[in-house]
């Protein structure tokens, strides 16, 4: 695994490929995810809050690449698990980590890797390829989150209940995040003059 961020993602183009820069980016995007988690509100029928986290996760993968992006999200999860108020509504701690949103937190790590992998292959440089790449990342988060609600979270014992509590109410907001990310990254690439390369 590379210590420095790859030059095929936008952070590797605009910033020097040094280990200290990579570490700072990992911390910075973990903090961005924590900040996005504070944009949070709850619906009465689900233990999973609606937050801005998934947008931050998608940006993390695209900006940092697969392994560094996944590492940043792993750092985010660990910092919240040790008790820092990094999760939705300023919560944290092991009990919160392993609660209803555990699957989503694990999905953040894998989704950042998947989106980063696609970004390393220049799928984030045009809207027509960036939107499907970010949509794939969102699907990964759902797969982990809904599966955990069904298998690992006792109050929800059916697939229908897991889908209603863990996916259906989030689809409109997540589609908006996917489109926003799918426009933002190609625009950023155009700004640095590498959008078609």
CATH number at residue 57: 1.10.1760.20
Q: List beta partners, residue 41.
A: 50
Q: How many Cβ atoms sit within 10 Å of the Cβ of residue 64?
A: 30
C-alpha closest to that of 100 among 54, 162, 35, 37: 162
In a domain, 126, yes or no: yes
Q: Which domain holds residue 70?
A: 10-191
With respect to residue 157, please indicate whether it lies within any of the assigned structural domains.
yes
Tell me which residues of the chain have a pLDDT lower than 70.
1-3, 5, 194-197
Q: Is residue 43 part of a domain?
A: yes
Please indicate, yes or no, if residue 4 is contained in any of the structural domains. no
DSSP secondary structure string, 73-109?
HHHHHHHHHTT-S-BGGGB-SHHHHTSTTHHHHHHHH
H or E element in which residue 134 lies: helix 127-151
Query: Average pLDDT of the chain?
Result: 93
pLDDT of residue 156: 83
CA dihedral 140, 87, 67, 25 (to 10 degrees): 140
Residues with Cβ within 8 Å of 31's Cβ and at least 6 positions away in sequence, in order, are: none
Residue pair 38/100 in contact (Cβ under 8 Å)? The answer is no
pLDDT the model gives residue 1: 46
Number of domains in the chain: 1
Distance of CA 129 to the CA centre of its chain: 18
Please report whether residue 2 resides in a domain.
Answer: no
What is the model's pLDDT at position 132? 97
Give the tokens for residue 45.
């029928």
Query: Distance (Å, rounded) from C-alpha 64 to C-alpha 15?
Result: 11
């Amino acid at each position: 695994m590379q210590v420095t961020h790859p030059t095929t993602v936008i952070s590797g183009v605009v910033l020097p490929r040094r280990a200290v820069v990579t570490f700072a980016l990992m911390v910075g995007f973990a903090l961005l995810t924590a900040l996005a988690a504070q944009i949070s509100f709850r619906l009465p029928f689900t233990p999973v809050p609606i937050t801005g986290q998934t947008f931050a996760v998608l940006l993390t993968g695209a900006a940092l690449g697969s392994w560094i992006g996944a590492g940043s999200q792993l750092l985010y999860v660990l910092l919240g698990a040790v008790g820092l108020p990094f999760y939705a509504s300023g919560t944290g701690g092991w009990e919160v980590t392993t609660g209803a949103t555990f699957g989503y937190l694990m999905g953040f790590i894998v989704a950042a890797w998947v989106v980063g992998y696609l970004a390393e292959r220049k799928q984030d440089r045009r809207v027509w390829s960036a939107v499907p790449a970010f949509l794939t990342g969102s699907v990964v988060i759902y797969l982990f989150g809904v599966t955990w609600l069904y298998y690992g979270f006792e109050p929800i014992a059916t697939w229908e209940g897991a889908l209603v509590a863990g996916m259906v109410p989030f689809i409109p907001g997540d589609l908006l995040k996917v489109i926003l990310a799918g426009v933002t990254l190609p625009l950023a690439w155009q700004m640095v003059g590498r959008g078609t390369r």
